[in-house]
Every structure is written in structure tokens, then in C-alpha cells.
Structure 1
Amino acid sequence: YTMGRAAEMLGTTQGFLRAIGEARLITPLRSAGGHRRYSRYQLRIAARARELVDQGTAIESACRIVILEDQLEEAQRINAEHHRGTPKPKP
């Protein structure tokens, strides 16, 4: 999605999207002309950051929280996969 469309979908400003990019929460792809392009996953991450900012969290803190939440979710997924692949001990 273009920056304008992404901001519209999230109900936020293009400045907010630039700010979370500068905080390295998301790194949008660039078109041949250098315009930012956002994926659905990036929009989901941006929406979570916006929730936190709307609740009064500083943007830098919100970005860090979202990064940690994402890392925790990934670790839990890997852990669940590991446990599914491990045979259960016999009594």
C-alpha cells in the first residue's frame, strides 16, 4: 500500500508512519520512484503501535513494546512447534 493509503486505512497521518519507520519498527519497501510501500503485516504492526500511542505511550516506547510483543509471539510459536515434535515420555 502507498503511504497515503496506509495512513488512511490506519486513521493516522503520514508523519506517524514516518516516525515509526525512523524508530525502526517497520521498514517499508520502496517503489522504483522511491515511494514507500507497506505490506499488510507492516500495517498490522503499525496499527498496534498506534493503539499504544493513542493510550498515551510515547512513540519510541510503543515501538519497543510492539517489537517485544512480536518477538514473544515468535518464540511461543517456535516453542509450540518444538513441543509438538518431541515424543512424550513414557510413564
Structure 2
Amino acid sequence: MTADDSLSRLDDDDYPAYTMGRAAEMIGTTQSFLRAIGDARLITPLRSPGGHRRYSRYQLRIAARARELVDQGTPIEAACRIIILEDQLEEAQRINAEHRRAAEPANPTATA
């Protein structure tokens, strides 16, 4: 691995750069909270060769959103389901927008 490869990982949202302790600290929660959202299958941390959980920036954003909902009084299981549904809705809207763009005529003519 070259130095350029290592540096490019810093820009990779999916690279599992953070330990459980650091991840919990970054989003202001506990390690048990991260375990709970993992058990609810909201996020699945990768494992280091030693078996320790490692989190990406993308996963930390999801965990922070879950924490926000839980802090507002939403049960953790419901918070996880809400986030999953929000993600599915966003994906469906993205796909619909792509279909609409593909269906538009290449050279729309002005009507008089």
C-alpha cells in the first residue's frame, strides 16, 4: 500500500476508520448505544483483524441521527425503523427523478 492509498481512505465515507470508543465519543453517546443500533441492524460495523468493531463516517452519521431521535423520546427500535424508511424513501425519490429525466425529450420544442 502506498502513501497515496492511505490518504485516499481519509476521503472515503465508507472506510471503517473509527473504533467503537472513538465513534461513541464523536457522536456523544455510549458504546452500548452503538451495540444496540447494531443489534437492531441499522448499521453493521466492520471488524478489525482482532475482531473489534470499526465504524465509517457514513455509519456515524446514521448513528448520530438515531441518537437524535432517541434523545427526542423515540424508542431505539422505532428510531432505527424510521431511519431505514427515510433512507428507502430518499432512494425511491432519487430513482423517480432519474426516470423522469430519462423520459424527458432530448430536445423539447417550444409551443406557440
TM-score, normalisation: structure 1: 0.94
Identity %: 85
Q: What is the CA RMSD across the aligned residues, in angstroms?
A: 1.4
Letter in 1 for 2:88: Q
Letter in 1 for 2:24: A
Structure 2, gaps ≥5 residues long: 1-17
List per-residue Cα deviations over 1:23-46 (Å, max 9, x = no partner).
000000000000001111111111
Q: CA deviation at 1:62?
A: 0.4
Q: CA deviation at 1:57?
A: 0.4
Moved more, 73-82 or 58-67: 73-82
Moved more, 48-57 or 75-84: 75-84
TM-score, normalisation: structure 2: 0.77
For the pair 1:65 / 2:65, whether they are aligned, the reply is no
Which portions of structure 1, spanning 4 or more consecutive aligned residues, are displaced by more than 6 angstroms?
none
Bigger Cα Rg? 2
How many equivalent pairs are there? Answer: 91
Matches within 5 A, 1:1-91: 1-88=18-105
- Identify the structure with the greater helix proportion: 1
